A = this chain, B = another copy of it.
Amino acid sequence: MSEVYATRRSRLRDHVSAAGTTAALVTRPANVRYLAAAAPRGSALLLGKREDLLVCTGPPEDRPYEGRPDENLRLLVLPPNGAGAGAGGDAAVAAADLAVAQGADSMAVEEHHLTVTRHRAVASVAPGLRLGDLGGAVEQLRVVKDEEEISCLRIGAEIADQALGELLESILVGRTERHLALELERRLVDHGADGPAFATSVATGPNSGRPAHRPTDRRVEEGDFLTVCLGAAYRGYRCEIGRTFVIGTSPADWQIELYDLVFAAQRAGRESLAPGAAYRDVDRAARHVLDSAGYAEALPPLTGHGVGLEIDEDPQLAPASMGKLDACVPVTVEPGVHLPGRGGVRIDDTLVVRPEADGGPELLTITTKELLAL
């Protein structure tokens, strides 16, 4: 496995060298984990002139699902913060010092992650070091996944499907959004997740269909739409599933109509996933269905996004996004409509883009998308 990490670092090093920089400092946790197999709290990864180093503010904990640092990587553990001067405890500052010691004259840093204050501390410990911007270089490497990564996402999706399936078998009326969300998170862990991939969203009645709705104390009532959005983190990889149900025996006509419409939009989005498809075209495929039905105002700004070590990664499937899908890119397709005061529908899947010769997009979240009356 550790060859994977060495290969990733070598690809990043090629990028950094091509930009004329001799060292790189990676601090964004998901990026550190991608390149070093683990990102202990407060850690920073130095791609040095002579050697790569993972600098940590404490020894990595022995927790299998947080990963163990790549054994080919030298590990430097700083003494605890309280003991010395403030800046001494910052792994980024220590890494800058080491970059100079290795003879680097320039270093690219993640300006979208480092605060102004930390950036200044890095600059002041190494005044001879020319600092540049690494930009989203690591994020771009992360977009296309290998089969090992996809396998983690697949297991995470299975776990989320199981947790959701069990919830549907229990009695829902009278329970609050917050309790249902907590129960789902417990079930994710029961089934082997590291934890929830993001804050589980449960939305009932007028809250249903709101993107990223945070659960309230509202109780589930007969006749409600119920929207659930959850995901499992598995070995660091995060997937997402969202479904909308009706509570009670017979959905109202407006509920059936709205559901069918969102389902059609979501299917159009899924079916447009292919290597070479423009991000904005996937968005447009789903959005067009809802637009034509007169819901242009009620739509969220994007139709889907990449998933991986973070739940919201590149690419963004949105009207203004530039770029095209590659094979082996996992994305969500999650259109929805929310009508203020009434509620709405959201249907969300995680899929992996695959060429048609391999059967087209691979659906990871397989819970039914029929409108269930619970």
Q: A186-B182, A216-B63 are in contact. Are A320 and B83 (CB under 8 A)?
A: yes
Find the B residue at minimum CB distance from A189: B178
Find the B residue at minimum CB distance from A188: B182
Interface of chain A residues 56 through 98 with chain B (CB within 8 A): 61, 63, 80-85
Interface size class of A (residues with CB under 8 A): 35 or more
Interface of chain A residues 270 through 307 with chain B (CB within 8 A): 300-302
Find the B residue at minimum CB distance from A136: B117
Cβ of A316 under 8 Å from chain B: yes
Q: A61-B214, A178-B189, A179-B189 are in contact. Are A82 and B302 (CB under 8 A)?
A: yes
Distance between Cα atoms of A179 and B182 in the complex (Å)? 12
Candidates B109, B182, B319; contact of A82 at CB < 8 Å = B319
Min C-beta distance of A118 to chain B, whole Å: 8
Q: With a CB–CB cut-off of 8 A, which chain B residues contact A318? A: 82
* B119–A81 touching, CB < 8 Å: no
Find the B residue at minimum CB distance from A300: B80
Candidates B115, B183, B214; contact of A63 at CB < 8 Å = B214
Cβ of A112 under 8 Å from chain B: yes
Distance between Cα atoms of A223 and B113 in the complex (Å)? 45
Q: With a CB–CB cut-off of 8 A, which chain B residues contact A362? A: none
Distance between Cα atoms of A320 and B88 in the complex (Å)? 13
Candidates B116, B183, B189, B301; contact of A111 at CB < 8 Å = B116
* A115–B113 touching, CB < 8 Å: yes
Min C-beta distance of A184 to chain B, whole Å: 11
Distance between Cα atoms of A247 and B189 in the complex (Å)? 24
Q: With a CB–CB cut-off of 8 A, which chain B residues contact A319? A: 82-83
Cβ of A185 under 8 Å from chain B: yes
Q: With a CB–CB cut-off of 8 A, which chain B residues contact A117? A: 111-112, 133
Q: With a CB–CB cut-off of 8 A, which chain B residues contact A109? A: 116
Find the B residue at minimum CB distance from A317: B82
Find the B residue at minimum CB distance from A193: B178
Q: With a CB–CB cut-off of 8 A, which chain B residues contact A213? A: 61
Cβ of A114 under 8 Å from chain B: yes
Q: With a CB–CB cut-off of 8 A, which chain B residues contact A189? A: 178-179, 182
Most buried by B among A109, A183, A300, A301: A301
Can you offer 10 A-B residue contacts whose CB atoms are under 8 A?
A80-B301, A82-B316, A82-B319, A83-B319, A83-B320, A111-B120, A114-B115, A116-B133, A179-B190, A182-B185
* 4 residue pairs, one from A and one from B, having the closest CB atoms: A82-B301, A111-B116, A80-B301, A82-B318
